[in-house]
Structure 1
Amino acid sequence: PGIGTDSFGRDQQFMNVDKAFIQFAGLTAGRASSFFDFYAHDFEFAGATAGSDNSSTNLLAYTATVGNGLSATLSIEDPVFRRTPIFSPQNISATVNSGGVSNFGVTNQPTPVFVGYTGGVPTRYSYVDSIERSRLPDFVGVLRLDQAWGSAQLSAATHELNIGNLSTATAVGSGGVVTGLPHTNSVLGWAVQGGLKVNAPFIAPGDALYLQGAYGEGAQLYTGYSAFTGSYTQSTTTIQGQKFAQYFSDATINPFTGQLQTSTSFTAVASYLHYWTPEWRSAVFGSYGEQSFSAGARLAQGAIFGLTNPNGANSFGSNAVGVPGTRFYQLSQALRDTYQFVAGASLIWSPVKDLDIGVEGYYTQIGLKSGRAIDLDKSPAAYSNIAGINAGTFAVRTATQDSVSSVRLRVQRDF
């Protein structure tokens, strides 16, 4: 049965199975962990660090054993599990499906694109449907080495970004000649990752060190920059009550060309597990990551904002970029380049086999790579006063970073 709606108000019908796969003669088929992943938060409770971690996805893979612990895998995987929203300034929250046409297609989820010009100046715009389609699966290639000293892995993946076309509705704006209706071409995002696991029995039996790094373009969930929260909305908050949102979109739509402009991201992770005794163990872990949008992408979104909001109206809400050159544009949170830092540790007691009782604490900091953003905690009404911010009549508080410390207690019994 339908048990909910997606972010565009469309009814969803699905069931969830954690693992269900068949392995035979090097072939893996079904629902299993992604072959791209390596560390996958192996030593953590909450999985607070960055890094790729897709424990269950639909895939078809073949692994060839070369010899001496070396293997190579080619995997065809479901792209839905690695999908982030394409940035839309008019993105809305999930709504209950009323059956109305307004809950489908471009009506609620348009991205403005220039189609008409007067004297070389854009004066008319239409909309591109930013809902993502599925055409190609993700292709994952892996080279892995397993030895007594540990493991090493190189992973690579492709991820297609494919959205709708320009609306055929009448363009909005004054005058101007429509110069052509651009078709949004699909873009092939990609990611690469390297990982190393070193066993350290010379320190204590069971000790191990993980090191991992990943870089991606248009494939943010492969680098795992938002692994802790997921990227199911374009501005998911990592910290409850966050001062400003981070934008996790894989791409934006250029309003001048109607084409996709991909974002880039990278992450680096380190984690060490140490056994004090056979019953007591600890892990220390940390990660750093960044996501960046091109300066041209943000400037372009600001240009379309200026046309669609000539009087500073707030139809875009917190996704508003603002008009380039204004104070609001300098302080708005949308499409800002951000970083994320995580550090933590745990202590776990296993009084009997397959029973873990432990506590884990970690610190998370998110911030802007440059400039300042509106502090939504101290200035919650700022996005309703864009004109006042630009005119200097509305005082606004700003911030460069936000942070939080968390502690979790976990009791786990394996059977």
Structure 2
Amino acid sequence: MQAGTLGSDVASTNLAAYTATLGNGFSATLSMEDPSFRRTPVYSPANVAAAAAVLGNSSLQTFAITQSPAPVFLGFNAAGLPVGLGFEDTIQRNRMPDFVGVLRYDQPWGSAQISGAVHEVNIGTLNTAAAQIVGTNPGTLGRAASEYGWAVQGGLKINLPFIAPGDTLYLQGAYGEGAGMYTGVSAWAGSYIQSATSLQGAPFQQFFSDAVLNPLSNRLELTQTFSVVASLLHYWNPTLRSALFGSYGEVAFAPGARAAQASYNGLGIAGITNIGAFGSSYYNLNQILRDTYAFNVGGSLIWSPVKDLDIGVEGVYQNYGVQNGRVIDANRSPGVTSQTLLNAAVAAGTLRTVTNADVFQVRARVQRDF
């Protein structure tokens, strides 16, 4: 049940690392790692291709289908009003490896570790020729500058042989900006995508993008995440063991990032985004780019009659929700995806909202390692 702990291990990461043993239980590791394994997408509206079809812009439609566009204003007139809107491809490139450093201390009582990572967040080039859809371009904007996300982590492993041989307590905390995969906040709901629900049928989605492109400034704004976790492993006898864990994590987008995404609604182009006009009731109630939290608690009972054979049961409970306000309940008010549909639901008395959701998961486990 590692994913339920908000853990951040990615066992398949391609890397080149060097570890030095410093003596007295200390060791240090430096690593260069493939950034693809620690990347959550930069936020992109999901319906730009549909907007292009409505506008009859075949070039933009092709661009939207083959890439991941996010809007940016190309310029403003003397009155301060936008006169051009283009799109940047937010699919990230491998321009720089992640750099990771670890300092570890091992003793008979257990171990302690602190670590840090640097992770580049980047996007593609502004496509004005194919993707410009409003007004005339008063100038040329280049690709938004890369931002450098980072994360730090501290952990303790405490051996508890006075309770039972093999008993261990684990404590860990992590904080990051633009590096959510290192803090593990999306580990249970679903990593490598910008939004997900913990289980099919949950009332609303959480958003996990490492950064949001501000359409007003053409800058990437990093997302803050943190998590804490505690877990206890206990052996009832040499073949029967239990694990208990609890964790808490939060996702907070840059101040104003969500409001900036609503700014281009004033251009009156239908279908360009589904976040709603700033200050509208739909804007206040939809799930997109909302700051969220998640709390997990779970346990397992595993019997290992022979080496490398595990038989048992595992269960986890999660409560996740928005940090402020309310969101539309997609189960009880399905299909409310615009201000017009929200108004209709309110008039019909069918609009339902929530602040959080409870998720339960139980599974039987039979595992044989070779």
Alignment equivalent of 1:397, drawn from 352, 355, 366: 352
Whole-Å Cα distance in 1 between the matches of residues 368 and 88 of structure 2? Answer: 50
- The within-5 A match list for 1:144-183 is 144-169=104-129, 171-174=132-135, 178-183=138-143
Q: Which structure has the highest helix share of the two?
A: 2
Q: After alignment, is 190-199 or 222-231 more displaced?
A: 222-231
Whole-Å Cα distance in 2 between the matches of residues 200 and 58 of structure 1? Answer: 34
Paired residue for 1:10? none
Shift of 1:62: 0.5
Paired residue for 1:335? 289
- Any unmatched runs of 5+ in structure 2? 50-57
Paired residue for 1:248? 208
With the length of structure 1 as denominator, give the TM-score of the two structures: 0.81
Whole-Å Cα distance in 2 between the matches of residues 231 and 219 of structure 1? Answer: 12
**Does the aligned pair in 2 maintain the 1:136–1:160 contact within 8 Å?**
yes
Could you list the per-position Cα deviations for residues 175-210 of structure 1 after superposition, in whole angstroms to 9, with x for gaps in the alignment?
Answer: 6x7254243000110000001000000111110000
- Any unmatched runs of 5+ in structure 1? 1-43, 94-99
Name the aligned partner's letter for residue 313 of structure 2.
Answer: V
Could you list the per-position Cα deviations for residues 97-139 of structure 1 after superposition, in whole angstroms to 9, with x for gaps in the alignment?
Answer: xxx9866677652211111323112242111111111110000
Could you list the per-position Cα deviations for residues 47-80 of structure 1 after superposition, in whole angstroms to 9, with x for gaps in the alignment?
Answer: 3221212111110000010002210000000000
Give 3-state SS (helix, strand or coil) of 1:346's partner. strand
- The within-5 A match list for 1:344-383 is 344-383=298-337
Alignment equivalent of 1:127, drawn from 79, 87, 91: 87
The alignment status of 1:85 with 2:41, answered yes or no, reads: yes
Give 3-state SS (helix, strand or coil) of 2:266's partner. helix
Counting aligned pairs with the same residue, the percent is 56
Shift of 1:149: 0.7
Could you list the per-position Cα deviations for residues 190-236 of structure 1 after superposition, in whole angstroms to 9, with x for gaps in the alignment?
Answer: 00000100000011111000000000000000000011243222112
Structure 1 residues 107 and 357 mapped into 2: Cα distance closer, same or farther (>3 Å)?
closer
The alignment status of 1:200 with 2:155, answered yes or no, reads: no
The alignment status of 1:111 with 2:70, answered yes or no, reads: yes
Q: After alignment, is 78-87 or 46-55 more displaced?
A: 46-55
Give 3-state SS (helix, strand or coil) of 2:196's partner. coil
- How many pairs does the alignment contain? 357
Paired residue for 1:53? 9
Q: After alignment, is 359-368 or 209-218 more displaced?
A: 359-368
The alignment status of 1:326 with 2:287, answered yes or no, reads: no
**Does the aligned pair in 2 maintain the 1:106–1:128 contact within 8 Å?**
no
Name the aligned partner's letter for residue 322 of structure 2.
Answer: L
Alignment equivalent of 2:339, drawn from 386, 389, 393: 386
Could you list the per-position Cα deviations for residues 142-191 of structure 1 after superposition, in whole angstroms to 9, with x for gaps in the alignment?
Answer: 0001111111111100000111121122732246x725424300011000
Whole-Å Cα distance in 2 between the matches of residues 59 and 92 of structure 1? Answer: 36
Shift of 1:141: 0.2
Structure 1 residues 308 and 195 mapped into 2: Cα distance closer, same or farther (>3 Å)?
farther
Give 3-state SS (helix, strand or coil) of 2:4's partner. coil
Name the aligned partner's letter for residue 75 of structure 2.
Answer: G
Shift of 1:250: 0.2
Give 3-state SS (helix, strand or coil) of 2:126's partner. coil
Give 3-state SS (helix, strand or coil) of 1:284's partner. strand
Structure 1 residues 92 and 360 mapped into 2: Cα distance closer, same or farther (>3 Å)?
farther
**Does the aligned pair in 1 maintain the 2:86–2:133 contact within 8 Å?**
yes
Whole-Å Cα distance in 2 between the matches of residues 192 and 218 of structure 1? Answer: 12
**Does the aligned pair in 1 maintain the 2:149–2:177 contact within 8 Å?**
yes
Give 3-state SS (helix, strand or coil) of 2:37's partner. helix
Whole-Å Cα distance in 2 between the matches of residues 363 and 336 of structure 1? Answer: 22
**Does the aligned pair in 2 maintain the 1:128–1:165 contact within 8 Å?**
yes
Whole-Å Cα distance in 2 between the matches of residues 337 and 288 of structure 1? Answer: 14
Q: After alignment, is 255-264 or 343-352 more displaced?
A: 343-352
**Does the aligned pair in 2 maintain the 1:182–1:257 contact within 8 Å?**
no
Whole-Å Cα distance in 2 between the matches of residues 186 and 106 of structure 1? Answer: 24
Paired residue for 1:265? 225
Shift of 1:315: 4.5
Whole-Å Cα distance in 2 between the matches of residues 282 and 211 of structure 1? Answer: 17
Say what the alpha-carbon RMSD is for the aligned residues: 2.2
Structure 1 residues 204 and 302 mapped into 2: Cα distance closer, same or farther (>3 Å)?
same
Give 3-state SS (helix, strand or coil) of 1:306's partner. helix
The alignment status of 1:215 with 2:168, answered yes or no, reads: no
**Does the aligned pair in 2 maintain the 1:271–1:286 contact within 8 Å?**
yes
The alignment status of 1:280 with 2:240, answered yes or no, reads: yes
Whole-Å Cα distance in 2 between the matches of residues 390 and 122 of structure 1? Answer: 28
**Does the aligned pair in 2 maintain the 1:129–1:165 contact within 8 Å?**
yes
Whole-Å Cα distance in 2 between the matches of residues 130 and 108 of structure 1? Answer: 8
With the length of structure 2 as denominator, give the TM-score of the two structures: 0.90
**Does the aligned pair in 1 maintain the 2:48–2:69 contact within 8 Å?**
no
